[in-house]
Each structure stands twice: as C-alpha cells, then as structure tokens.
Amino acid sequence: MLRRAIYVGVETGLLLCLLGTVTWVSGYPFIFPSLGPTAFVLAMSPDHNTLRQVVGGHVCGVLSGLAAYHLLAFGLVVTVAHDPFSTERLWLAASGAFSVAMTAGSMIGLRVVHPPACATTLIVSLGLMSGIVEAAIIVVAVSVLYAAHRLIHRLLRSSLSATSA
C-alpha cells in the first residue's frame, strides 16, 4: 500500500513538474487545475485510461466550454468582482452549468468519459482560458501529459521486469 501511494504521488508530481517546466520556459499556461485530477487518474489506473478517453474528454470540455462562454458570457471572467444578483454573474453561472451539461453529454455520447474534463470546461466557460490559443494549449498540454504518463509507465514496467528476472 505504501509503495503504491509513493508511486502515485511521484508520478503525479513528475507529470505536473513537466508541464510546469513547459509553462515556465514558454510563458504559456500549460499547467491548469484540471491537469491535477488527470495526472492522478492516470497514475492510479495506468492501464485503464486510453488516449482517446483522456484527450477526447478534454476536447469535449474545451469545445463545450468555448461554445457556452461565447454564447452566454463572452468578455466576462469569474475572477472579476461583480455585484450580487448582477446579470454578469448570472451569465457566468449559466455558462458554467451549460458547459458541464454539454461536456457530460458529449463525453458519454462519444464514449470518451474522463471526469476531470468537467473541470476543464469550467476553466474555459468561466473566462479563465477562453481564447482559441488557450484552447489549443489545453489540448496540447493534455496530450503531452498523456504521452509522458505512458513513457513513465513503460519505463517503470521495463525496470521492474528487469529487476525481477
């Protein structure tokens, strides 16, 4: 149990360190909140998450978030103070709820269920990363995270089989 806890913690941390480094070097936001749950899910179940599920789920989240944001809350950002009962807050809340509903439905319909994508859609639909460049960065970051996970898993499996032989 302790060995597994250490492995999951180390892999999750390494995956986010990689994207944190890309963020630091590039100046672009290649690290964002929904990558934490994605890294954890990948480390916890290394053989049960396919590229199609992980990237497909986040693509559903990005597209749903963009649609909701541009339809309902364009130009607004959840981190900006708005008065209670303001129409701005109402539109942001509607954008968030609508994006999660669309993300959940599209992931199930396309069979690419990846729950952390529901956090991605909120990041986009609430105005935190709502541009086309940011949307592309999200998809690239998730793809890099997945590729790094597969590499770590393959290297670990090789080293374990070499030590047990």
pLDDT of the residue at 46:
76
pLDDT of the residue at 156:
76
pLDDT of the residue at 48:
85
pLDDT in tens, 107-119: 999 999 999 999 9
pLDDT of the residue at 164:
59
Positions of the chain with pLDDT lower than 50, given as ranges: none
Long-range contacts of 133-139 (CB under 8 A, 24+ apart): 133/28, 134/29, 135/62, 135/65, 135/66, 137/28, 137/29, 137/30, 138/32, 138/58, 138/62, 139/55, 139/58, 139/59, 139/62
pLDDT of the residue at 160:
60
pLDDT of the residue at 161:
61
pLDDT of the residue at 1:
86
Alpha-carbon span 12 to 42, nearest angstrom = 8
User: Where do the domains of the chain lie?
Assistant: 2-164
Closest CA to 47 of 153, 123, 139: 153
